[in-house]
Amino acid sequence: MRKIKLLLSYDGTPYQGWQKQPGLATIQGSLETVLTQLYNEPVRVIGSGRTDAGTHAVGQVAHFEAPKILRSEDKLLRGLNALLPETIAVKSLWLAPDDFHALASARRKTYIYRIWNHPVRSALWNHRALHVPHPLNLAFLNTLARQVVGRRDFKSFQTTGTL
């Protein structure tokens, strides 16, 4: 088997998060459905982390064990993107070392939170920013932001045994 590493982007609006759940649309479930279709046997996808319902990603890493050599990496990339919903894109893929594990190998994660600060909501930012219609106290928010800037150790929040 060959281990394939994926770099994904997705609009999480229609999904109930990353993790596959029976009867619900999820990112992992969508990827596994398409890969199972391509390989004609079950394929399990491991992500670098689980996202909540409605969360978007611009560079999430995942991997899967390719049950057989099916096609070139370029053809696999094009095949995946042709079959996946428009809300999920595989930006790139490549062979990964045998010891690579998307979750256990993750070293950092970056989160971006946006605020749409305007009296009228935005149709374009509807699912991508928190709408706050009243004026914000930017001095106070900047003071709060300085409290969280920097490197932090979040190991206590990780799943046991992942690092």
Query: Which residues belong to the active site?
Result: 52
CB neighbour class for 63 (10 Å; exposed up to 12, middle 13-18, buried from 19): buried
The residue type found at 48 is: S
Tokens of 12: 């999480």
Distance CA(17)–CA(26), nearest Å, equals: 5
* Amino acid occupying residue 24: L
42 SS3 class: coil
d(CA 113, CA 55): 11
